[in-house]
Every structure is written in structure tokens, then in C-alpha cells.
Amino acid sequence: MPRKSNLVLWGVILFVAWNALLLLFLWTRPGPDEHGALTNEVIRLAEDAEMELERQKSLLQQIHDYSAVWSRQRKKPATTRVPAAGAALPQAANEDAVKGPTKIPHRPASPALPENAVIPVLVIACDRSTVRRCLDKLIQHRPSKERFPIIVSQDCGHEETARVIAGYGDAVTHIKQPDLADIRVPSDHRKFQGYYKIARHYRWALSQVFRTFKYQAAVVVEDDLEIAPDFFEYFSATFPLLRDDRSLWCVSAWNDNGKEQMVDSKHPEALYRTDFFPGLGWLLLADLWEELEPKWPKAFWDDWMRHPDQRKERACIRPEVSRTMTFGRKGVSHGQFFDQYLKFIKLNDHYVPFTEQDLSYLKKENFERTFLAEVYNAPEVRVEELLGNQRKELGAVRVQYSSRDTFKAFAKALGVMDDLKSGVPRAGYRGIVSFLFRGRRVFLAPRRDWAGYDPTWS
């Protein structure tokens, strides 16, 4: 009986409370004029809440992905792990030091990274579902999942591309750039909005690799690149050079003058130093990101890298025959550059065992001694003689330029890329561009007493 009384009492309390709330709502209900505004406000708040929930969901998913990667890294054998983030890299040997005044930043001495250090491949992706072509080749050719983990960083929020990447399961790590908002740009840069978003994405993705995942090196590729069979062998062999030589700041898989008729396919093992930042599949170290991140540009990051303030007289390694090729006609440049040039780049198809070769010839002093002697001992000829296929008995020859205008005229006549970035020609070293023309080696070169790049040559 007491139990039944309690139920009745609670029923009365609920009845009174319900009616009190109903009366309160009727007394405070807005009039007709206010009703629409209130409804709109409620809808707006609901939409904001939904957006915030989606953002939090995305961040939680990425944290979950990171946790899986960290868990795998903790389980790796000691021989395949890299030092913690921020660890300094070794002082270059005395034979590699640059003589005289130099702008090259100091790289503190520290224990060397192991030869088999973990080097992730960072794939910059957006809205190309054809990223599968890039990922298929990376997975096909990589010798070790543990040593070369693949991190795909996706911008744009493109669902079809996200599904393609997710389809690879734990073969790759998929992270998503969380800020998809438009960027406020100067009125005369509205058509360049895409370049601003690319720079934002690169900064976020590289920070994830070096600060969140704490890797000490990374190879960066974009979602429209296909790699050569010896892509990983190439970077494995050149990694120690980059690590030890302070006069280097990157290794690139790309030759800007890499059209099939302009490279020596019989010697795919040939490598060069270049003052021009090539990109398009490039290796960098964490200490370079420490240097660049605080001043990273809002747009046009690759040309920014080619400015003297960033390059600081450092060089990159590049191949005679490219180890990447691009299949991405679609992009922020609307395909014009692809149709005119990029689609003709020769992708190496002969595996070169670079790790079995002595690459000490690429050290600054060694390379300059042999390369400059080869260039300036080559007989000088006129462009007209080359175009007329004359003096073929001379073998390798040199065409000398003396100004911005003569360089551009000779380059255009011989089929070489004729644009200059802060005075540096594509694939050039000390102003010298090396290529094949009608089967013979040609050096398009400044005078022997070259005094350095003129940034006004652009």
C-alpha cells in the first residue's frame, strides 16, 4: 500500500511540473514578429553545433590514427628507429666545408643517424582520386614498410579521394588537414587562392611529420607523381650525403631539363649538384624544417624556396634521368605547363644499385673540381653551329652566355628551360646547365670567372 501511495504522489508532482512548464512557455512565447527571428537563431545555433561536432570528430579520428602510428613506432627494433625530434645532425667533414665567407647555417655535431633510419614518404593529396596510381607505385617499389612508412596528408575534404586512400588500410597512414576555409588574399591574388591553400597544407603536413610523428627526415611527393623502380634505392644512397654535407639542403628525384631527348638514358646512374630547388619528389631533414617553418610563406612556397634568403648558397642533388614523372594535368596551373613540358619528362626504367656505388664525387669540393674542369675544358661553339649540326667531331661542347638575355635566347633555341628564379637557371650549378642536344653533351655556361647569381635575372 505505501508503494502505491508513492507512485500516486510522484504522478501528481510530474503533472503539476508539466503544467507549470506549459504555462511558463505560453506566458513567455514571443509574438509573431519575434517568432521568425527566434527560429532562425535556433537553426543557426544548431548548424554551428553540428559543424563543431564534425570538426571534433575529425580531430578525434586523426588522434586515433596517430596513436596507431606511435604504437607501431614503439614496437620497432632499435636498429630502425630514429633519434627524437630536434636532435641535431652531424658536423660536415672538413673536406666538405665551404671555404671563405658563407651564409650556410651551422649544423651542430651529433651522433650520426643510422644508415637504415626510418624515412617516411609524405604524399600531399587533395581532390585527385587518381592518387591510387601514385600509391600503387610507392607500395609496389618500397623495400620495407617499416623503414619507408607512407603518410598521405589530404586537404580539400574530397570524399571520393578519401575513400580511395582509406581503401589501402594500414598500408598507409591517412591524415586530414582540418582547416578547409578559404584564405583571405589580396584582391589582385584572388585567382591564386589555390596556391595559398597549397602552402597552408604543406606547412601543416610537414609539421605533422616532424613535430607530431617526430621523424628526422622525409621524402615529399605529390598525389600526381609516379616513381621509378629505384626511387627508394636512390634516396637510401643519397640520404647520408644530405645528412653529412652542410652545403646540401635537399635531394630531388627530378631533372627540370629531363625530356627524353635531352638526357643520357645510357647512364641513368649519373647524379649532379644543382643550385636550383627542383622539388617534385624531394628529401629534407628535420633541422631544415626547424629553419623554414617559422617563416613559411602564405603562397608560392616552391619559388620562395628558390630565393637566396632560403637557399643560402646550398645545393640539391638531382639525377640525370628523373626518378619521378607527373601524370597530373589537372591542377592550379590548369594544365598549361603540363601540356607544354611536364608530360615529356623521361622516367628512369633501369634499376641502379646506388647504395653499392661510391657517391663521394658529389661532395662539394670533389664535384666542383671534376665538373668545372669538364665544362671549361670543353671547346666553345656558337649556337648556330649546334643548330646546324656542325663540328660533331668535338664531342662535348660549351656554349657561353654573358647576360640574362643571351641565356634566355640560347636556352630557348636549344630547348632548355629558359626561366630563371632569383637568377638561377633550372638544373643549373654555378650558372651551368648540362644537357644533351642531338646526342651530344652541351654545357650552357657563363664565363669561367663567374661571380655569382644576379637575383635581378628573373
Q: Are 407 and 401 in contact (CB under 8 A)?
A: yes
CA distance 87 to 73: 17
Q: At what angle do helices 131-141 and 159-166 cross, to 10 degrees?
A: 20
Q: Please, which residues have CB within 8 angstroms of residue 76's CB and are 6 or more apart in sequence?
A: 118, 146
Give the closest residue to 317 by CA, choosing from 366, 374, 266: 366
Residue 261 DSSP label: G
Per-residue pLDDT of the chain (458 residues; tens, 9 = 90+): 554 455 445 555 655 565 555 455 445 545 444 444 444 444 444 444 444 444 444 444 544 444 444 444 444 443 333 333 333 333 333 333 333 334 555 554 334 456 678 999 999 999 999 999 999 999 999 999 999 999 999 999 999 999 999 999 999 999 999 999 999 999 999 899 999 999 999 999 999 999 999 999 999 999 999 999 999 999 999 999 999 999 999 999 999 999 999 999 999 999 999 999 999 999 999 999 999 999 999 999 999 999 999 999 999 999 999 999 999 766 555 455 777 788 899 999 999 999 999 999 999 999 999 999 999 999 999 999 999 999 989 999 999 999 999 999 999 999 999 999 999 999 999 999 999 999 999 999 999 999 999 999 98
Strands 121-125 and 217-222: parallel
pTM: 0.76
Query: Is residue 454 annotated as part of the catalytic site, yes or no?
Result: no
**Active-site entry in 264, 302, 418, 454:** 302
CA distance 82 to 420: 38
Q: Which amino acid is at 116?
A: N
The CA distances from residue 430 to 173, 275, 276, 380, 447, in Å, are: 40, 7, 10, 17, 10
